[in-house]
C-alpha cells in the first residue's frame, strides 16, 4: 500500500477577471475570490481514486503559503484526503516564493511523511510555472511522470500515459515517483457541503519554513507586471483591391 502526497495551491478563482495593481508590482488579490488550483483538484481526485482502489493507504494534502492556504487544504480534505500539512509562509516571503522553494518543502515533507507517490497539478493557473513536479523529483532523486492523462499502479511500478505534442506517450516508472496531473486525467468530484463540514474535523499539521529547513530568500526580483496588450480594432475594407493595397502596405504580401 502506498502513501500518496498531494501538493495543492490556493490561487485566484479561474473565473475571476485578473486585475493588475496600478503600481505594476503584481495582481490584485485582496477581496478577490480564491479557490483550489484546478490542476491540483485533478491531482487530489487521482489520489483519492487510488485510495478507493485500495492502492493507496493514505492521502496527505500539502500546501505552502499564507494562512489562507488552509482553505484549499480544507477543500482537499473535503474531496477525500485523510489529513493535511500546511507549511506556513508569511505574506512578505510568499510574494517572492518560487517553485524551487516549494519543491524543497514538498521534498522534505515527502521524506518526513514517508510518501511513495507525490501527485501535483502540472501547473498553477496563477503563475503557470510548471516546474514544481520536475524539481521535486530531481531534489528527491525520484523518477518523474509529468502531464499524466492515465495512471495505473502495478507491483511497485506506475504506468503513466503522458500527454505529449501530437499524442500520448506511455512511461513506466518505479516507485517512489512524482506524477503531475494534466487536464484529462480525470473529472474531479465536487466538494459537497456535508463533506466540507466533515473536513473541518480532519487534522491539519502546521509547519514553518524553518521546520523543513528551507531558506525563503528571494532568488528573483519582479520588475513589473503588466496587462497583455489590447487587441487593435479592425476595419472593414470596401473591396478586394483596397484589401490588397492595404496588405501590401503592411508588408503581408
Residues 37-66 within binding reach of another protein (CB under 8 A): 38-39
Cβ atoms within 10 Å of 129's Cβ, excluding its own: 15
- Binding of another protein by 223 (CB under 8 A): no
- Binding of another protein by 193 (CB under 8 A): yes
- Binding of another protein by 31 (CB under 8 A): no
- Binding of another protein by 175 (CB under 8 A): no
Rounded distance, CA 16 to CA 125, Å? 12
- Binding of another protein by 16 (CB under 8 A): no
The residue range among 49-57, 133-141, 150-158, 190-198 that interacts with another protein, by the rule CB under 8 A, is 190-198
Asked if 3 and 50 touch (Cβ cutoff 8 Å), the reply is no
Residue 64 Cβ vs another protein, minimum distance, rounded to whole Å: 23
Rounded distance, CA 186 to CA 198, Å? 24
Which stretches of the chain are DSSP H helices?
38-52, 69-79, 91-94, 99-112, 132-140, 193-199, 240-249
Candidates 57, 67, 192, 242: give the one binding another protein (CB under 8 A): 192
Candidates 140, 181, 188, 214: give the one binding another protein (CB under 8 A): 188
**Paired strand residues for 86:** 63, 206
Residue 183 Cβ vs another protein, minimum distance, rounded to whole Å: 6
- Binding of another protein by 190 (CB under 8 A): yes
Hey, which bits of the chain come out as E strands?
2-8, 10-12, 34-36, 56-65, 83-88, 117-121, 144-154, 157-164, 167-174, 177-181, 204-208
Residue 218 Cβ vs another protein, minimum distance, rounded to whole Å: 28
Rounded distance, CA 113 to CA 186, Å? 26
Site string for another protein, 110-139 (x = CB under 8 A): ---------------x--------------
Residues making contact with another protein (CB under 8 A): 14-15, 38-39, 125, 183, 187-188, 190, 192-193
Amino acid at each position: 500500500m502506498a502513501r500518496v502526497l498531494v501538493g495543492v495551491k490556493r490561487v485566484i478563482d479561474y473565473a475571476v477577471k485578473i486585475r493588475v495593481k496600478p503600481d505594476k508590482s503584481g495582481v490584485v488579490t485582496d477581496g478577490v475570490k480564491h479557490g483550489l488550483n484546478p490542476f491540483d483538484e485533478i491531482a487530489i481526485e487521482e489520489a483519492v481514486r487510488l485510495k478507493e482502489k485500495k492502492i493507496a493507504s493514505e492521502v496527505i494534502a500539502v500546501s505552502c503559503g499564507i494562512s489562507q492556504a488552509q482553505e484549499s487544504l480544507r477543500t482537499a480534505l473535503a474531496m477525500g484526503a485523510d489529513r493535511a500539512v500546511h507549511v506556513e509562509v508569511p505574506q512578505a516571503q510568499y510574494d517572492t516564493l518560487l517553485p524551487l522553494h516549494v519543491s524543497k518543502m514538498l521534498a522534505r515533507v515527502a521524506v518526513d511523511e514517508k510518501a511513495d507517490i507525490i501527485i501535483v497539478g502540472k501547473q498553477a493557473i496563477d503563475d503557470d510555472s510548471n516546474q514544481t513536479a520536475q524539481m521535486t523529483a530531481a531534489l528527491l532523486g525520484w523518477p518523474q511522470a509529468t502531464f499524466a492523462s492515465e495512471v495505473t499502479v502495478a507491483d511497485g511500478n506506475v504506468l503513466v500515459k503522458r500527454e505529449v505534442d501530437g499524442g500520448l506517450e506511455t512511461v513506466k516508472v518505479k516507485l517512489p515517483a512524482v506524477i503531475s496531473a494534466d487536464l484529462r486525467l480525470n473529472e474531479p468530484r465536487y466538494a459537497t457541503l456535508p463533506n466540507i463540514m466533515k473536513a473541518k474535523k480532519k487534522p491539519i499539521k502546521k509547519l514553518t519554513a524553518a521546520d523543513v529547513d528551507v531558506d525563503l530568500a528571494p532568488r528573483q526580483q519582479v520588475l513589473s507586471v503588466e496587462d497583455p496588450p489590447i487587441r487593435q480594432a479592425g476595419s472593414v475594407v470596401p473591396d478586394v483591391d483596397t484589401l490588397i493595397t492595404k496588405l501590401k502596405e503592411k508588408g503581408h504580401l
